[in-house]
A and B are shown apart, each in its own frame.
Chain A
Amino acid sequence: MHRIFTVFCVMALIGSVAAWAVTRPGVITDADLDGLSGDPIAGAAVFWAAGCASCHAATGATGDARLTLSGGQRFVSDYGVFVAPNISMHPQHGIGGWSVAQFVSALQMGTSPAGHHYYPAFPYTAYRLAERQDLVDLWAYWQGLPASDMPSQPHELGFPYSIRRAVGVWNLRYLRDDFTITADLSAEATRGRYLVEALAHCAECHTPRDALGGLDRAAWMAGAPNPSGSGTIPPLTPDKLTWSQAEIAAYLNDGFTPDFDSAGGSMVSVIANMAMLSDADRLAIAAYLKALPAP
């Protein structure tokens, strides 16, 4: 009996060490970014495509105020309230003191400079698919953004969601290195896939989630409950979103549906981002949506 207990303890110890090891936050080093140099002009396009301002600008900010990423917006979820942090260029309250490798680690590994997991309310799951050159360009653009001394507020999460290490387990299951749509796509729709899946993270709202909050890839863009209020987030699959490619692209630019109803809710902020893209990129997004499989 004593012997069995010893074996059990040893196994448990090995299991704990293994669990600790596999849930360790991943890091991207300077060496991983060797040879890349950032272009702030190209980074501006990445900034708008990635939608950073929609969550990290102050609540209700419009126009140039959307460039001040002071944080503070509150995102109510089933797990508690996530509060967007200050990611402005402020060296203490923001991320102005980060290295480019720390920036890319946050975006692609969901790991903070202190080596902790971010919660996946921050869509590193999408940015993980981005080209590193684009993220280095983004960091170059970031250097010219304003600083805010607004202190970041803590998330308001209950147990067990307050255990950040548990995100490591979540990452094992949900952190993917492949695009969801793997069918043959035109060059235009392939560009659209990159914009939608790696940068704009449209699926975060337009795709339903499973019990653990992971996106249900089998119902990709099939619509979902509204995370921030009543009603539902509409489906984007071509059986439901029957607008033409040109109509979708125009909507992303001027915010009017084909019936000239205006966008509302979170899409107002999304369209403010999308309006900054090129016509070609908006058409590419629309081409990708038209190529989605109906569920």
Chain B
Amino acid sequence: MSYRTTLIALSALGALCIGPSPALAQDTPAAVQARKGQFQIMALNIGVLGNMARGTTDYDAAQASTAAANLVAISMLDQSFHWPEGTDNMTIDGTRAEPAIWENLPDVITKWQAFGAAATGLSAEAGNGLDAMRAALGPVGGTCSACHDVYRAPQ
């Protein structure tokens, strides 16, 4: 057995031992990775505001305004390419997207637009003090839940 063959054999063995997870991440369609990424950006920016609302960080008008503007920017991303058919949790691993999304697309779009409207409302208030920001953040969280309640599977 040559050095090269041994190396390949060992690599294959190693891949077997590690199991399917790393391969799975690579197999996740780009569209799924992209939409998960957009939700992570949303969570990061909501976190900036949410921590101020909770009092775990100090309120900062400029940072709050930036975070709210980022949420508005995300809400304006056209979602056409993020949700191809066959990327639901019954068809592939690595997503919690329920098949119901594709059965109720008009409702999903309405819910996404509701997020946009709430984010715009938040953007108008985010720099106007902690209480104003906190009051406008609640409705944004409500629009997240409204969609997750119906269209995202539990862990």
Q: Which residues does A use to contact B, with CB under 8 Å?
A: 226, 229-234, 246, 250, 254-256, 259-265, 268
Contact A256 B141 (CB under 8 A): yes
Contact B148 A263 (CB under 8 A): yes
Contact B43 A259 (CB under 8 A): yes
A230–B50 Cα distance when bound, in Å, is 29
A262–B153 Cα distance when bound, in Å, is 13
What are 9 A-B pairs with beta-carbon distances under 8 A?
A231-B96, A254-B138, A255-B145, A256-B141, A261-B43, A264-B145, A264-B148, A265-B149, A265-B154
- Please tell me if B133 contacts chain A, counting CB pairs below 8 Å: no
- Minimum distance in angstroms from B142 CB to a CB of chain A: 8
Contacts of B145 in A (CB 8 A): 255, 262-264, 268
Q: Is the interface of B mostly helix, strand, loop or mixed?
A: helix
A210–B8 Cα distance when bound, in Å, is 49
Contact count band on B: 20 to 34
Q: Can you name the residue of chain A whose Cβ is closest to the Cβ of B47?
A: A260
Contacts of B89 in A (CB 8 A): 230
Contact B149 A264 (CB under 8 A): yes
Query: Looking at the complex, which one of B54, B146, B149 makes contact with A254 (CB distance below 8 Å)?
Result: B54
Given contacts A256-B46, A256-B141, A259-B47, contact A264 B53 (CB under 8 A): no
- Minimum distance in angstroms from B2 CB to a CB of chain A: 48
- Minimum distance in angstroms from B26 CB to a CB of chain A: 23
Query: Looking at the complex, which one of B43, B47, B141, B152 makes contact with A255 (CB distance below 8 Å)?
Result: B141
- Please tell me if B144 contacts chain A, counting CB pairs below 8 Å: yes
Q: Which 5 A-B pairs have the closest CB atoms?
A: A264-B148, A262-B144, A231-B154, A260-B47, A231-B153
Contacts of B152 in A (CB 8 A): 264-265
Q: Can you name the residue of chain A whose Cβ is closest to the Cβ of B140?
A: A262
Contact A229 B153 (CB under 8 A): yes
Query: Looking at the complex, which one of A229, A260, A262 makes contact with B148 (CB distance below 8 Å)?
Result: A262
Most buried by A among B144, B145, B152: B145
- Minimum distance in angstroms from B47 CB to a CB of chain A: 4
Contacts of A232 in B (CB 8 A): 154-155
Contact A230 B141 (CB under 8 A): no
- Minimum distance in angstroms from A63 CB to a CB of chain B: 10
Q: Can you name the residue of chain B whose Cβ is closest to the Cβ of A269?
A: B149
Q: Can you name the residue of chain B whose Cβ is closest to the Cβ of A229?
A: B153
Contact A265 B148 (CB under 8 A): yes
Given contacts A230-B153, A260-B50, 20 further A-B pairs with CB under 8 A are A226-B154, A229-B153, A230-B154, A231-B96, A231-B155, A234-B155, A254-B54, A255-B141, A256-B46, A256-B141, A259-B47, A260-B44, A260-B47, A261-B39, A262-B141, A262-B144, A262-B145, A264-B145, A264-B152, A265-B149
